[in-house]
Amino acid sequence: MNKVIRHISTAVFGIAVFLFWLILYPHITGFHEQNQLFLFTWDFFVERISVAGGLADYIAEFITQFSYVPYLGEALLALLFVIFQKSIAHLLGREDWYMLSFLAPVLLLIYMCDIYVMLCFLVALIITVQLCALYKKHPGVIWAVAATFFGYWLIGPAAILFALYAAAREMNWKGILLIAVSAMAILVAKWTYMEQYTWMKVVFGVNYYRHLSDIPFMQHIVAAVTILIPVFADSLPKPKTALSVSAAVLIAVGGIYGVKQNYQKDVAEIIAYDQMVRHEDWEGIIKRAEKYQPNSELGSVSVNLALFMSGRGSELPRFKQFGTRGLILPNIRDFISNSSSSEVFWRLGMINESLRYAFDTQESLINNRKSGRWMSRMAECQILNGRYDVAQKYLDILSHSLFYRGWAENARTYIHNEGAIASDPIYAYLQSVRNKEDFLYFYPEMDKMLAILYSQNRNNVMAAWYYQAWTVLKNYDKSNENISTGSAHGN
């Protein structure tokens, strides 16, 4: 395969990956960004580096933070996939089999249709392939042993792939030594700094997959293909043109089919709705809902909020509804369900409820990270509550980040400054429409709480609209209960 075709094929692949994230999984990069908070502090670095794969995780989070900027996250992901592909091509060293360098990246793209796959896995694979390329050029046993042992600590179990590659190339005592060092690195980690983790996570990676109790089989396939193709590349015969074209077509078609099979459309829509709520793209939400009706309560919460905020509340019947839960969800302690409901509470003036939903969302992040989005919201709520000491702690943390630093420094001006709060149009409005007296929050009586909000301040038209919508959609809830009851009696 000549140089021009190689460059064109890589460029086409990079564009395809960019469009994959931009079209099929819009806003997913922003979703990953809001589920972490990268801090430029020594303590943050030490916390990350204290588990196996910590360096790869640190690099991944550093890159992920740039997804705060629209389209930049998709572009960076595409660039990383291109680097991964080019790294494998360099390790192959076979220009005639250049198309095989796309197989592992395509499989990884299929795997990343699962939103729980973390960028750390891709970063670790790239570093591993680079180590393999270095060993191929300079096969020194001393540095290979060090790279295997410390590589496990720095990039996680992906370092074992390096040991396997070196062992496959040597097929002698050096290979056996590297395999033994890999096993020793795992045992040392489990018996010392990773005692709290299960053997599965110690062996297969802590930060490669967001769920702590599950490792999909697809991860093993991607890892195996990444290392096996370079191992056997030298033994492959020179391919004919027809074979090269056929292999390229097969990888492309297989990739498209794999993505189609693993694409989680409903999940993608929920995340897209929530991220558009975050950026207040109300018209964008409605346009999206017109093409693809919300298929969940969470999506309905986002769409109904957009209808009110865009002044199109009368169009509520046009969109699929899920009863009152499609207006505001009860508190669900996971890392996504409370998102849009917290935004609804914030705009209604139910500050404490917005704070509670935001706090529970952050504390429910599966891998125990913090969130810039929700920490910012909690700081705002505490400022309006007059709990400036708590707000200050949140702002101190945010000030060590890249994209939240400016916001945090501006938010400091409201600390112990009632005049600044009164002069801010958003904060002043929320202070005027919020509840004037404390009461116990009780989700089944949300309509009564909305009525109280409106009766306290007739300018709170949002409370009035949500009260009316709640009253209407209560009939939907009752009809569904009757249907369920009738079905039960029928059985």
Q: CA triplet 127, 131, 133: central angle to 5 degrees?
A: 115
Least confident of 366-370, 405-409, 419-423: 366-370
Q: What are phi and psi of 204, to 5 degrees?
A: -115, 0
Predicted confidence (pLDDT) at residue 57 exceeds the cutoff of 60 = yes
CB 218 within 8 A of CB 127: no
Structure-token pair, residue 322: 């899920």
Number of other residues whose CB lies within 10 A of the CB of residue 268: 20
Residue 430's nearest CA partner among 383, 389, 396, 485 is 383
- 489 compared with 453, residue with greater pLDDT: 453
Q: What are phi and psi of 394, to 5 degrees?
A: -65, -40
Q: List, in order, residues 6 or more apart from 401 with CB less than 8 Å away.
A: 37, 38, 39, 40, 65, 372, 408
Q: What is the structure's pLDDT at 435?
A: 84
Residue 206's nearest CA partner among 58, 64, 46, 367 is 367
**Average pLDDT of the residues of the chain:** 90
Q: What is the structure's pLDDT at 487?
A: 33
220, 221, 227, 230: CA torsion to nearest 10: 180
Q: What is the structure's pLDDT at 170?
A: 78
| 306/289 Cα distance (integer angstroms) | 10
Average pLDDT over residues 161-189: 87
Structure-token pair, residue 108: 């990884």
pTM score, two decimals? 0.91
Enumerate domains of the chain plus CATH numbers.
3-263 (no CATH), 285-478 (1.25.40)
Residue 459's nearest CA partner among 383, 352, 349, 377 is 349
103 falls in which pLDDT band (50, 70, 90)?
Answer: very high
Q: What is the structure's pLDDT at 393?
A: 97
State the number of CA atoms in the 13 A half-sphere of 109 facing the CB.
Answer: 33
For 202-228, write each residue's pLDDT tens digit.
Answer: 888 889 998 877 789 999 999 999 999
Q: CA triplet 218, 222, 224: central angle to 5 degrees?
A: 115
For 62-86, write each residue's pLDDT tens digit.
Answer: 999 999 998 999 999 999 999 999 9
Structure-token pair, residue 266: 């409903």
Residue 48's nearest CA partner among 58, 62, 40, 38 is 58
Q: What is the structure's pLDDT at 477?
A: 58
DSSP 263: -
Average pLDDT over residues 101-107: 95
For 111-148, write each residue's pLDDT tens digit.
Answer: 999 999 999 999 999 999 999 999 988 888 888 899 99
User: Percent of the chain beyond pLDDT 70?
Assistant: 96
CB 273 within 8 A of CB 266: no
The full DSSP string for 349-413 is: T-HHHHHHHHHHHHHT-TT----HHHHHHHHHHHHHTT-HHHHHHHHHHHTTSSSSHHHHHHHGG
Sign of the dihedral through C-alpha 438, 443, 444, 447:
positive
Q: List, in order, residues 6 or more apart from 195 with CB less than 8 Å away.
A: none
Q: What is the structure's pLDDT at 480?
A: 57
Number of other residues whose CB lies within 10 A of the CB of residue 359: 17
Question: What separation in angstroms does the CA of 57 have from each of 115, 122, 441?
Answer: 16, 10, 39
CB 306 within 8 A of CB 286: yes
Beta bridge pairs of residue 209 = 117
Least confident of 102-111, 173-182, 457-466: 173-182
